[in-house]
């Protein structure tokens, strides 16, 4: 029952800037409080609890960042994950409204509205996704097959992490990332700094309303179908089918539930999470995806676990071919 306390401690310490304050050297509670503009008497128990958790280390009166905090929670470090924390920090309010969401059947907010209304959140959301997607994107690219793609569409491609990973493995390929304007404004910053930027096109569009174009041999939907209910996923699959050449493949990459609908645990928890900020979004079952793919006309269905060593949070890649 108390797990929320640990999450909140890390979120607040990150908000205060505790990990940045300890980036260069150890400090006692008074010095940290001074640097982060907090009261030393109320900051000290927070630092102690974080030390007990192993996020910080305490020696005498001095605190230091633990290994994970030093690598992932200090701004500017190559493996910085603070944007992911900021995203969770914002969605905490959604979880506080869970009872209302469950009673009313309505989301707390919808993602496009949230992204549009809060540019800061959009920035964290997109950067946060980019921060943690690297290993999964490389694995998806490997499973799709090096050298197998010439022209891909990344539906709701966000920061373009997956498109770039596939471009890296397919030297002749070109990619189009289809996403909302508010998202692509941030993606453009990533893309412009990427060595493969000339092979990536950003196309502003709504994946529920706009045509996807044509002539593609791969249509990727990574972490987008959980934001949508069945009826819209099926519509997206129909649009992807139209956009693909014969022999082209659709690839769905997401957290996927087994037949029970209740396991693995992480996708089941995420199923509640998406309900808070989507209009009918759900984590879907593998059997449902396979049925929808078949009904959309796709054949030779495959499924692969992505990074299965992550156990509870492993994702699934489903592939289908347009005959
Ligand atoms: C969870 S993110 C996934 C991003 C990326 N595919 C990945 O796996 O890292 C969902 C993406 O879908 C985009 N999106 C949401 N609704 C959309 C819509 N109606 N049309 C186009 N893009 C949309 C969001 O802007 C966001 O970039």
Q: Which domains does the chain have, with CATH numbers?
A: 3-80 (1.10.10.10), 106-321 (3.40.50.150)
Atom index in ligand 1 nearest the CA of residue 210 equals 20
DSSP code string of 20-73: HHTSSS-B-HHHHHHHHT--HHHHHHHHHHHHHHTSEEEETTEEEE-HHHHHHS
pLDDT (tens digit per residue) in 97-146: 999 999 999 999 998 898 889 888 888 888 888 888 989 999 999 999 99
* Residue 261 token pair: 């609908």
- How far is residue 197's CA from residue 105's CA, in Å, rounded to a whole number? 42
CB of 223 closer than 6 angstroms to any ligand 1 atom:
yes
- How far is residue 89's CA from residue 8's CA, in Å, rounded to a whole number? 8
- How close is the Cα of 221 to the center of ligand 1, in Å? 9
- How far is residue 170's CA from residue 56's CA, in Å, rounded to a whole number? 42
- How far is residue 72's CA from residue 67's CA, in Å, rounded to a whole number? 9
CB of 278 closer than 6 angstroms to any ligand 1 atom:
no
CB of 179 closer than 6 angstroms to any ligand 1 atom:
yes
Testing ligand 1's pocket by substitution, the residue of 125, 126, 156, 226 carrying the most ligand atoms inside 8 A of its CB is: 156
Task: Please report, to the nearest 10 degrees, the dihedral formed by the alpha carbons of residues 42, 46, 47, 48 taken in order.
Answer: 100
Is the whole-model pTM more than 0.85? yes
Site of tokens 């905490």: 92
* Residue 28 token pair: 């006692």
pLDDT (tens digit per residue) in 37-92: 999 999 999 999 999 999 999 999 999 999 999 999 999 998 899 998 998 999 99
pLDDT at position 312 over 70:
no
- How far is residue 302's CA from residue 61's CA, in Å, rounded to a whole number? 56
């Amino acid at each position: 029952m108390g797990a929320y306390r640990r999450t909140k401690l890390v979120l607040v310490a990150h908000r205060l800037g505790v990990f940045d304050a300890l980036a260069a050297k150890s400090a006692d509670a008074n010095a940290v409080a001074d640097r982060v503009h907090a009261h030393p008497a109320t900051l000290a128990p927070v630092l102690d609890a974080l030390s007990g958790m192993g996020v910080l280390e305490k020696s005498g009166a001095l605190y230091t960042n633990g290994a994970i905090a030093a690598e992932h929670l200090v701004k500017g470090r190559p493996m910085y994950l603070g944007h992911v924390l900021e995203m969770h920090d914002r969605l905490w309010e959604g979880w506080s409204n869970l009872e209302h969401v469950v009673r009313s059947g309505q989301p707390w907010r919808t993602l496009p509205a949230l992204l549009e209304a809060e540019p800061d959140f959009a920035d964290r959301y997109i950067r946060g996704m980019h921060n943690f997607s690297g290993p999964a994107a490389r694995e998806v690219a490997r499973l799709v097959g090096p050298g197998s793609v010439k022209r891909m569409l990344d539906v709701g491609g966000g920061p373009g992490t997956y498109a770039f990973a596939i471009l890296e493995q397919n030297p002749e390929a070109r990619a189009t990332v289809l996403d909302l304007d508010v998202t692509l404004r941030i993606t453009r910053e990533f893309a412009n700094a990427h060595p493969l930027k000339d092979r990536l096109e950003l196309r502003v569009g709504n994946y529920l309303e706009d045509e996807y174009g044509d002539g593609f041999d791969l249509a990727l939907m990574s972490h987008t179908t959980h934001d949508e209910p069945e009826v819209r996923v099926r519509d997206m699959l129909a649009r992807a089918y139209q956009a693909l050449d014969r022999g082209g493949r659709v690839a769905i990459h997401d957290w996927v539930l087994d037949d029970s609908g209740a396991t693995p645990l992480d996708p089941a928890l995420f199923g509640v999470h998406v309900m808070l900020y989507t209009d009918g979004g759900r984590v879907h079952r593998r059997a449902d995806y396979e049925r929808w793919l078949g009904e959309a006309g796709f054949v030779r269905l495959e499924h692969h676990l992505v990074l299965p060593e992550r156990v509870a949070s492993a994702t699934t890649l489903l592939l289908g071919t347009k005959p």
